Homo-oligomer: A and B are copies of this chain.
Amino acid sequence: MSERKPQVLLIGFGGVGTIVSYTLEHLGRAEVTVVSRPETYDSIKSGYRIESCSYGIIDNYIATNVVKSTKEGYEKYGPFDYIIITTKNIPEISPVVDFLEDCYHESSTIVLIENGIGIEIPIYRKYPKAIILSGVSLIGTTLYEDTVKHIARDIIKFGAFINYNLDKQMQYDRCKHFLSLYSNDNNFAEYEENVKLTRWRKLVYNTCINTTCALTDLDFGRMDLFGGMESVVRPAMKEVVAVAKSEGVEIEDHVIDEMIRGEDGVYYPPSMLIDVRNGNYIENTVIISNVVKYAKRNGVPIPTLTVLDNLLKLVQLRTGEAKGRFELPEKRPLPEENYQIQFKY
């Protein structure tokens, strides 16, 4: 009888999720149960083609199990050793903590391969004994229909969001165990004890470049050539560095210059710009609003981030209306009516 392999529940099976799943399974190190939305179930169940710069061409990758809900996954294959979440993180639309409702077990370690800051807090609030790992990923991978094009190698840092209710070492060990499943010769998976540093460093980029590109409908290259790096992004980045510092995270000055230079010779649309162009929700809450929240709490002046954040909140509501999240009266309500938007979800 063979040893039971680590069982993984994976929520989010797009470009990133597919590579995560394949990474864990292809060397026989773990078994993945993918949670699929009803409309993609058949497609995931019959397999995706993967064209990977690291793993080569995989004609048809089918995850070990595919289920239609976290509940079904838990009942059939749970409890899980790891619950990995690779979805976009949009708390006001679909809170990540809600995904855990039907599949979390105290033996499970949660792995958040997601952007942003403060993303572990709602989970710790509901599950004070949870172990949560942070995955900060730099990867280029996109799902088109049933083909995943993986064009830039998987560089990822894992660490534990420390839960102070639990033994620290145990959390470090759990993270190292996960890394032993994930790391291989074809990716660059690293252990990073200082999760806050990793996350804040990535925010220096995301909070400033993604937002500016999204608001101006310009890709990274154009925004740079048009002067936006110096006029908007650099002041914003300095503010992020100051907020990080107020949170006890020292980011060296050269990080800003490195991120601004962008040496790769492609114009490159950041994810938030792609979301806006496709009329999709953006991850503004975890990428910028939470930074603004920390800044306010710590008394750090952030004039640039404040404006970017407030503009993006308006953009998110524009998307909400377009997606039918609410309807406005045909005639504009007058101020004295104190009209309140009625959200459907």
Contacts and interface: CB of A to CB of B under 8 A. Distances in A.
Interface of A: 212, 215-218, 221-223, 225-228, 231-232, 261-268, 303-304, 306-308, 310-311, 313-315, 317-318, 321, 328, 331-335, 339, 341
A330 to B, nearest CB: 9
Contacts of A333: 225, 265
B321 A263 contact: no
Given A222-B328, A307-B303, A328-B222, A228 B265 contact: no
Contact of A307 (B223, B264, B308): B308
A258 to B, nearest CB: 11
B222 A318 contact: yes
Nearest to A310: B231
Given A262-B335, A341-B225, A216 B303 contact: no
> Of A261, A267, A268, A310, which is in contact with the most chain B CB atoms at under 10 Å from its CB?
A310
A225 B263 contact: no
Contacts of A331: 265-266
B216 A314 contact: yes
B263 A317 contact: no
Given A217-B318, A313-B231, A335-B261, A225 B307 contact: no
Contact of A263 (B222, B267, B303, B334): B334
Nearest to A236: B307
A232 B335 contact: no
Contacts of A332: 221, 225, 264-268
Given A303-B307, A307-B304, A263 B314 contact: no
A295 B307 CA distance: 18
Contact of A339 (B225, B308, B313, B328): B225
25 contacts: A212-B314, A216-B315, A216-B318, A221-B328, A221-B332, A222-B318, A222-B321, A222-B328, A225-B333, A225-B341, A226-B314, A226-B317, A227-B313, A228-B311, A231-B314, A232-B307, A264-B332, A265-B332, A265-B333, A265-B334, A266-B332, A267-B332, A303-B303, A304-B307, A307-B307
